Amino acid sequence: MDAEVFLTHSNVSDDDVQDRTVVVIDVLRACSTIVTALDRGARAVMPVLDMAQAGKLASNLDPDVYRLGGERGGEKIEGYHLGNSPEEYTEDVVQGRDIILNTTNGTRALRRAREADTLVAACFLNAGRVVDFIRRTAEAVTIVCAGRQNRLALEDTLCAGLLLDRLWDGSEPYPVTDSAHTAYTLYHTDRDDLDSALRGANHAEWLSRQSYEADLDYCFRIDELPVLPYYTDNRLRLYKDAVSSA
């Protein structure tokens, strides 16, 4: 399978994603939160760029049907219902509701890729579901790692490497792009002790210092949730819901 990888979302343009099947990865923590919210019954997650966009969307919705979630500097935004810890997105909070999600990197990466022909959100939790979907529906894929503050994030790169390893059945084709080769090779270097490698990532160490250790335990689980967040009409929904209402 032909694969392109962007190791951060910062320079991704509309031309890079148009007519492509695109997978956006943000392991810590936006995509893990999105997958969890949809698994627990949220109707949709609307990724936004900033406070203004979030506020505008909220002002047009019935207060009972939406919840505002997200973070700045890792912490819940003042006035929002929820932060960016997946564990906050419990069934009783999200069931049947739309989540407006505003995060520093992940939701921006999703917005940046919104001109894609097909756009899905990925993390370790739903890696298997994403790989199945790509195999069945695409001959080429563009993976966009959210990264962190315009820099590579190890956890996103390793997740991209794991997806490629599965899509390529454990054997790297030739030729591949340098960034796809980098993600794949890094995953092969670290896969025997992936958990240690992930916990040593800068973002993981930072979240650990902020007492978000439980989020790391959760976000680093692989193939835990067979959930496919599929982007259409400016929101992510479960693939089956998005397709059945199309």
Give contact residues for ligand MLT (rule: CB under 6 A). Answer: 26, 28-30, 71, 74, 84, 103-106
- 240 is written with which tokens? 């089956």
Query: Do the Cβ atoms of 67 and 100 come closer than 8 Å?
Result: yes
Task: Quote the CA–CA distance of 126 and 229 in Å, as a whole number.
Answer: 9
Question: Closer CB to ligand MLT, residue 19 or residue 50?
Answer: 50
Question: Closer CB to ligand MLT, residue 28 or residue 122?
Answer: 28
Query: Do the Cβ atoms of 2 and 100 come closer than 8 Å?
Result: no
Minimum distance, C-beta of residue 55 to ligand MLT, in the bound complex (Å): 18
Minimum distance, C-beta of residue 71 to ligand MLT, in the bound complex (Å): 4
Q: Distances from the Cα of 151 to the Cαs of 42, 126, 154, in angstroms?
A: 31, 24, 10
Give the distance from CA 59 to its chain's centroid.
26
Minimum distance, C-beta of residue 159 to ligand MLT, in the bound complex (Å): 13
Sheet with 44-48: strands ordered across: 2-6, 140-145, 21-25, 118-122, 229-232, 235-238, 44-48, 98-102, 66-72, 75-76
Minimum distance, C-beta of residue 203 to ligand MLT, in the bound complex (Å): 6
Minimum distance, C-beta of residue 76 to ligand MLT, in the bound complex (Å): 10
Annotate 39-55 with b (16+ C-beta within 10 A) or e (fewer).
bbbbbbbbbbeebebbe
Minimum distance, C-beta of residue 156 to ligand MLT, in the bound complex (Å): 10
Question: Closer CB to ligand MLT, residue 93 or residue 166?
Answer: 93
Strand partners, 211: none
Strand partners, 237: 230
Q: List strand residue ranges (DSSP E) for 50-175, in order.
A: 66-72, 75-76, 98-102, 118-122, 140-145
Question: Closer CB to ligand MLT, residue 103 or residue 118?
Answer: 103
Minimum distance, C-beta of residue 212 to ligand MLT, in the bound complex (Å): 8
